[in-house]
Structure 1
Amino acid sequence: MDRRELFGVLGGLGLAPVCGLAAQAKAAGHGGKDDGPMSNSHFHFCGIHMAKKDPNIQFITQHFCPAHSGGAEGDVFQCVLFDGTGKNAKLVGVEYLISDEAYRKLPDAEKKYWHAHTYEVLGGGLIAPGMSAEDETKFMKVIIKTWGKAWHTWPDPKSAVPVGEPLLIWSLMGDGQANPDLLARRDKEFQVDSAKIREARGKEFGLEVPNVSPPKEMATVGRMWTDTGEDKPTPKKN
């Protein structure tokens, strides 16, 4: 799927405005104007982030993403990251999402900052609360082919103010990498079952979940499916 298709699918779900159309939502407190950067319609999804420098540092992270077209150099979805969904949730960072096509054009020195979303989708760790089951499936078929560059600028949400260096975020890419207590807490909050989601998506996509080890160093470049060899998916065995 190229970047035009990427935006087309999300636009078809009503999750992103088509470039050139007026914003679909009014911007509160913006002088009655509807052209502010947060006035666009957006999509929300939830996943578990981990710090690239230490896989044991993990967070339940809420993504709220208005659309943004980057033009010839590659389209970008800009996501604001929070530690919750309430009015007073802490803004903990940002994430940029690009298509696989755009990622492949990046210089090798840049790729070390970007993580894949394949395991998060197939492993059941990524959910889209508020979407219908049908729309969530369509959404995940887009997200599975994207790469993310995320920084947590509030590295410890328990602190009163955001102190410390920003954390470069990596994705969970294999079984046993997620903190089970954190995953259980997330499932309880949104009344979902990651194991059942994993089973359903395996059947829908017809693919085995990826098995990629956590990064050994900050310079490690991400992979989508396997640690070694040709980085391609494995058809589901049963």
Structure 2
Amino acid sequence: MASTTKGHEQVPPGEPMTIGQHMLDKGAQMMQSLKPIKQMNQHVCTFAMYSHDMSRQIETHHYVTRVNQDFLQCAVYDSDESNGRLIGVEYILSDRIFESLPQEEQKLWHSHAHEIKSGLWVNPRVPEMVIRPELENLTKTYGKFWCTWQTDRGDKLPIGPPSLMMSPQPVDLGIVKIGLVKKRDDKYNLSTDTMKTVRTDLSEPTRLNPMADYWVKHGKGFAIDVDDVEMKKIAPFP
């Protein structure tokens, strides 16, 4: 089956949905609770970079569920349109919880302080004064973002192992391309530079953990490979 194109966006190969499928989906939606999805109460637009190739930068759309004051979980899409593709998942921890992780685990996480204070992290169409208390919390958090579908390289399906993503940082490799930011700002009629100015007094962690944003100090990213391993088998029943 050939893939189809909507605008400049490639959609997965497959036949169009039938009327029967639409009716089934609508009926299921009316009868099922879909409780986990209904807990998503924030939309965040920001940018991310591949840990193994920092030159690849993407705009991301996080649909956020706050589980408690120390833990959030996000479904990540490549756009906020109805045909947006689910490209990964990000988990977000408070600095208190992050500090309790083993150092080898901390290497996989990135800080959010710069991303937020620089105005790159936005909640589209939500006034800054409304979201301000949440930003105060989020500047002191760390995230782990796995990308499972590399749509930026033209993949029509989720191919290969997941890729670890990193957050923008105030260093050469961590600066988001001007064109990407302008495109986002124009879409939502906002100014990243203005938000950066009004966010200068947002608090940050007392000490950014040196194991987070590991690539900044060590120049090394992380890539996942797939290995064949011996399968653990279930013992036969007596």
Q: Same fold (TM over 0.5)?
A: yes
Give the Cα separation in 2 of the matches to 1:64 and 1:41: 6
1:27-46 map, 5 Å:
29-30=28-29, 32-34=31-33, 36-46=35-45
**Deviation, structure 1 residue 30:** 4.3
Give the Cα separation in 2 of the matches to 1:41 and 1:93: 15
The answer as to whether partners of 2:124 and 2:188 remain within 8 angstroms in 1 is yes
The answer as to whether partners of 2:40 and 2:63 remain within 8 angstroms in 1 is no
Unmatched tracts of structure 2, length 5 or more: 1-25, 223-238
Give the Cα separation in 1 of the matches to 2:28 and 2:178: 41
**Deviation, structure 1 residue 140:** 1.1
Quote the residue 1:218 is aligned against: 221
Unmatched tracts of structure 1, length 5 or more: 1-26, 220-238
**Deviation, structure 1 residue 97:** 0.6
2:166 equivalent to 1:163:
no
Give the Cα separation in 2 of the matches to 1:77 and 1:189: 26
Quote the residue 1:180 is aligned against: 178
Large movers: runs of 4+ above 6 Å: none
Quote the residue 2:90 is aligned against: 95
Of residues 136, 142, 146, the one that matches 2:141 is 146
Matched to 1:32, the amino acid is M
2:188 equivalent to 1:193:
no
The answer as to whether partners of 2:93 and 2:143 remain within 8 angstroms in 1 is yes
1:62-101 per-position Cα deviation (integer Å, ceiling 9, x unaligned) = 00012325xxxx9421100001001110111000011000
What is the total number of aligned residue pairs between the two structures? 185
Matched to 1:36, the amino acid is K
Question: Which TM-score applies when normalising by structure 1?
Answer: 0.70
1:22-57 per-position Cα deviation (integer Å, ceiling 9, x unaligned) = xxxxx9944534363212242111111011112111
Query: Helix, strand or coil: the match of 2:221?
Result: coil
Query: Helix, strand or coil: the match of 2:36?
Result: coil
Give the Cα separation in 2 of the matches to 1:134 and 1:45: 15
Q: How large is the Cα RMSD of the aligned pairs?
A: 2.5
Give the Cα separation in 2 of the matches to 1:68 and 1:29: 26
**Deviation, structure 1 residue 151:** 0.7
Matched to 1:37, the amino acid is P
Of residues 87, 112, 115, the one that matches 2:110 is 115
Quote the residue 2:49 is aligned against: 50
Give the Cα separation in 1 of the matches to 2:125 and 2:195: 15
Give the Cα separation in 1 of the matches to 2:107 and 2:85: 27
Matched to 1:68, the amino acid is V
Give the Cα separation in 1 of the matches to 2:66 and 2:194: 30
Quote the residue 2:202 is aligned against: 205
**Deviation, structure 1 residue 181:** 1.2
Query: Helix, strand or coil: the match of 1:205?
Result: coil
Aligned-pair identity (%): 25
2:63 equivalent to 1:64:
yes
The answer as to whether partners of 1:83 and 1:91 remain within 8 angstroms in 2 is yes
Rg bigger for which structure?
2
Question: Which TM-score applies when normalising by structure 2?
Answer: 0.70
